Structure 1
Amino acid sequence: MAATAFAVAPEMSGAMLIAGNVIRLRRIRNISLEVFAERLGWSVTDVRALETSDRFNLALDDIDNLAQALGVEPAALFV
């Protein structure tokens, strides 16, 4: 029997995981960047930086605020 090689994807960073979930949840809820930024009290530039994983310094309060702005529990950002 021939051996089969499996490609292993690199681990997703925490920032990438949160960014992907924020984008997914924001789109599911049909929330524009502008409205989302307003809910957070952030600029649209800051939201874009988060969604592209360019913003890595999220405090626990930021996680709570992101979850609240999306209408989910904070744990939903880490799934």
Structure 2
Amino acid sequence: VELANLPGYGLSSAIYTRDPAKVYAFRAGIGAGRGVVHADHPGAEAHLPFGGNGRSGNGGRLSGIWVLDQFTRW
């Protein structure tokens, strides 16, 4: 986890283990914007807001119903 967080980009992460303690440590310490356990990353999901974390972030959350908040004045 420390090595994965070192570059500061925080893109995505995954862990494959049978040890629940390692899963919890991963979830508590990973700085990535997306993290999965025993799965792969299919890419961006249009129904979820995400603009990246760390140096890879763009600050936007332009997806799903949240896009209305980005482009609308209430």
Which category describes the TM-score, using the shorter chain as reference length?
under 0.3
When you count strand as a share of all residues, which structure comes out higher?
2
Greater RCO structure (CA 8 Å; 6+ sep): 1
Which of the two has greater helix per residue? Answer: 1
TM-score of the superposed pair, with normalisation by structure 1: 0.23
Query: Looking at CA atoms only, which structure, 1 or 2, has the larger radius of gyration?
Result: 1
